[in-house]
Structure 1
């Protein structure tokens, strides 16, 4: 049986690499310093595998087929966006398959990939908490960017099922669960039904799979243009409330907001906290340690939480 050794939740942002702090007290410096503290703590835990729960930013999934959840079981390749690692990543295939079997038995029909591309939504946090890309991973991609989204209640239920699946897995190793995403940030809509999503952008959201690299090249300048604004919207109050709720092991209060309440308080990018809900519920322990820095220059509230102590 596998041993579940803890949970790490961590915000990600393209601007962690695009706009790194230029001084010790610069925007994002506290987040990066605390992420390094987490890496040291994770190194002491010595996981044999990491289940990484995170979103895709239209580098693998498009509106030709948009699954709510997708599990990689064999070949996983980093897209390499925004400085994240490109190329093949090590996969804990036997753990992935065991989890898939258990989740299917629990009534979750997760999409399955033998050849999954993951972007910075998975890879950035994976790199930060392990210090490299050497620990085998099991990637669970959650649709958080593109309505219709899996409900918050469904994500909590998946967390319970995932925790049971990991503990019952025929995997003789120590498993860390990590979530990547959030916290509050306000992003443009990616919904093709929106009247403002037109022309080449709408075509790319639906048919981007036909030339993923070209779509990414066209999109990157729009992303870069969002960074560096010290007045970008971040909801520090809501972010603190969210971390407090997971510190109380109270994912249900977050789920009770429903999509409209979540988006009102945390923006469209806030839907990524689904990944945290799944992971914290799976491990079944409250956050013991948290760190938070609002970084409007990175358009995101940069938070970290762990179920184990961090020195």
Structure 2
């Protein structure tokens, strides 16, 4: 087994925090993983992993070595891709991530179109309602809703969304339309816990933050479930404007308390900064920027509309 293979095994063990999980991911036997790590530690002359019966952790030396492995293997992959022409011709595997509902509504329909244009690219779409690590999880392109906080990332704004309070017209006809966020204390609330943007209900009034504590009668872990329940007329929910654009247009849901909404959040197509951006990343970013940037549901310019 060469050193590059050992490095890949070590990286996988560290990421999976276990030998068995790493073996499954690499499709090799657990004893092979154990032997590779033992051979590395013996050759280097220091312990890289601290093992107990229940857990596995990197030692200080192991963390430094992990960082070096990522850098070295990244440079090797970059050299191979350059030699293969991937910086001029879109090819290879491309991983993109996006929030679940955004990915289902706006990204998934575009993937087949992109693949038809670039038949040498293979796509993997990671749709999750959490902030992923582009470096650690091998992500090439990410759709982020909100502001970037990483210095190694470059983002292109393609739209913006609002955090809106909405409910079915029949609910408001029965219980009345709230005119101030404080009135939501007596409302039937269904809350999505999929994102802090939706579980933390913040409001503003003329630039001043308003804070209220609500006790939702129903909490669900999926945004679409909260939207479906609101459409039934059971209660009100907070979602992002793009998530209910079609329901509002169809009259199934109505947005209230627009004057108390916090500032809109940017939608950004994000990729890692690099001196040389692979063609697969460059073309996919350009493709998404054009398609998403022209979608009117992602460009709410006034609080009175979605």
TM above 0.5, yes or no, is no
Normalised to the residue count of structure 2, the TM-score between the two structures is 0.24
User: Which has the greater radius of gyration?
Assistant: 2
